Chain A
Amino acid sequence: MTINTLAKGGCHREQMACFRKMEKVIVAMQDPDMGMKMRNQRLLITVIPHAMTGHDIIAWLTHKYRISEEESLHLGNMLVKYGYIYPLKEPRCLVLRPDESPYRFQVRPLTIYLAKKNIRKQGELMEYEKERYSLLHKRINHTWDFVVMQAREQLRASKQRRKADRIVLECQEQAYWLINRPPPGVNNVLDTGLERPNNFSCRVTLVSDFIIEACRKALGRNRVKSSICLEGFLKYSEQYLNHDPIMQGCLPSNPWISDDTAHWTMNAEIVPVPTRLRVERWSFSFMELLNDAMGRREFMTYLEKEFSAENLYFWQACEDIRHGESSKIVEKVEDIYKNFLAPGAARWVNIDSKTMDKTLEGIKRPHRFVMDDAQMHIYFLMKKDSYPRYLKSDLYKNMLAKAIVPQETKKSVFPFMRRQRHSSPSPAQTATQAAEEEGLAKGAGANSAAGSHF
């Protein structure tokens, strides 16, 4: 983008893709047939040739990319901010104005410099300069004439110092420096954040191995036809459409829009009566039911009636091992064995003999995933058997029947007063209180804070 970066041999990686794309836009704008119509633009009393108005730029972008004027203004602004187009009026301010303000295409200083030199001293460019020159020529092929013209203009201007040319030159330079040395308060568009990636040349063989291994595995996998997979997306989006507040709104109102937290209160983790949408969602998948605290509680009640609650208790205990502290694994595995797997256990779970044998063997050396097979077996048992029956049960149907459908709140008008936004207790606060209460109840020192379980 600048002489410096070109000299160093390259721009920041992530910006390369953007610059190439912006150049594409600029090149399209300069296309002799479909590009912008440039003409003489008036700047006070001076006439500047080969210029265009802000209004024209926006109109061209709107038409070419079929976008809104607002988006064209934004895109055009980016082109100005990055210096591809510079303003002739108020050159200190790199902003695209949607009016008759004149603008011109910026040509890279290096390009002009080399072109100037070439014109001045035909064929006397240094070797590396020649290379650069031809490289640049290839890159900006159809704007080459424009470059040569710019160079000629500059040479002429320095000889004759015509006012128009001087203005153009000043503006050009101004834009250049604004980008490279942005004044305080202006975004530095060349700021790209942290340098990345890191150098990994030493890992090349390791990675090639990895790729080969991954490819071999991938070749062996079972794939599903696209038509089946894609139908799945349609079904899912349709099923959840009414539950998506951004798509369909939410009842009684979206708290962020109305400042009313009723929606959250009604959908708190445990409520006396859940909303209809929430209860409906339990029927979408077994996971939805289990992920909702109230849903899980209801399901447990149903299983108690069916005398198969041990399955859910077992599943929960296994989850606790998988996601709990490493230090408690051994003790928890022992508890599970005692309560669920040992012969005559109080809550004995019915696992097939193969899985049971494997699990009992694994318990001898307990680790985080030792219960995985057994847990999955019970999970799928509940999913295929108990869950569908629960959905057909009176327990579920009654729950659905008495579930609340909140009234939509009409947007209240408070002409003189801003609605108060109520704060809510932080989960950390609740945990602190709970821990304190526990401490008091145990009669131990009540100095425990939320951080104590770490």
Chain B
Amino acid sequence: MSRLLQTPFLPSVTLPTKTRSSVTGFRVKPRIIPIQAKIREIFMPALSSTMTEGKIVSWVKSEGDKLNKGESVVVVESDKADMDVETFYDGYLAAIMVEEGGVAPVGSAIALLAETEDEIADAKAKASGGGGDSQAPTSSPPTAAIEAPVSVEKKIAAPPVSVKAVAASAVHPASEGGKRIVASPYAKKLAKELKVELAGLVGSGPMGRIVAKDVEAVAAGGGVQAAVAVKEVVAAPGVELGSVVPFTTMQGAVSRNMVESLTVPTFRVGYTITTDALDALYKKIKSKGVTMTALLAKATALALAKHPVVNSSCRDGNSFVYNSSINVAVAVAIDGGLITPVLQNADKVDIYSLSRKWKELVDKARAKQLQPQEYNTGTFTLSNLGMFGVDRFDAILPPGTGAIMAVGASQPSVVATKDGRIGMKNQMQVNVTADHRVIYGSDLAQFLQTLASIIEDPKDLTF
């Protein structure tokens, strides 16, 4: 279960984001490709002193075209302007490594130039072999291979809707018996972006036309096809048993991160916290849009403010940083993996703003529109599986942070009270995993004690 917490902490995670320009904005990791004498790389040039990355506007030449020295090959958009980029050598454009609309850091290879026509094939092989990642941007967005409980539940919930859509809509009158696809311009655009196959999809628009929300529904819910699969095999939606499935980019990244996390010596400290007061407060201010997640994040942030070492991070093994702001990352399962939207300065922002911010982040995460700073700037992570009835679990520490807290469900428990009676209290278990190079047992213990006192007397949460 805990492995699903790891994905977002990779700087190189390629998130299929829906950008304003509709072109999928992807990021490409610089790759090191063994350079042979006659196959040259075309680099992303620095077009201005402030430019750190460039977006490929369009390729003037296509693969296989002959290039003469000084000819423009590609149009690059920098932070200032669009510029034609020229080649310094004669040769053939062998392989394009960053497609139109893609973003690449300055200095990274965006294409390969072969000296002779014979070498084009070599170069192509190089481009696809050497840059394992380079395929990622164009490949389909990661599908639901990490079976987070949420996504399973979502899929089970999806069928009634989809099935209804199938039943309700007639065949489009002009679709010539299904031969032609009638979809609105935006639906087509979205389908291309979200890699949804329009054929076979049944529209809910006027006269059975496929409209944007049909495509979105498929992209979000796994689609009609998936729904049908669920009907047959509820336990494993859309999974072909016995097949070997290569990792998607996201899964590959998770795998690497998991292995990397083994280099950090971690330990765990647990605590049981009574939540009666917190539950009461939650009931009181729930109507104002406050969520339990925001309350927990706020309480955690206030406790972190008193124990800066728990909010620190050690990257090189020789020194560590007391992070200047308290950014609480909260794990959210989304379709096809998980992400940790970050509540920045959670100790300073009031609970109402924090709740609004959280709602906005979750919406963005679902729409895959989170910006990098909205998911990779966390200094402390919260993972809550309490809503599934999980009473305790432990988490793996995301590389680059100091600690992560696993939160279980708050349950009514029979407890002995101080005056010797037996009482009923709501209690939840939390379990913190921390980097022992910088955070010691007593640090965590004191942090948890502070956290418990805040949650058990939560008046400070709504200041």
Asked if A and B are interacting partners, one says no
Binding site for A on B (CB under 8 A): none
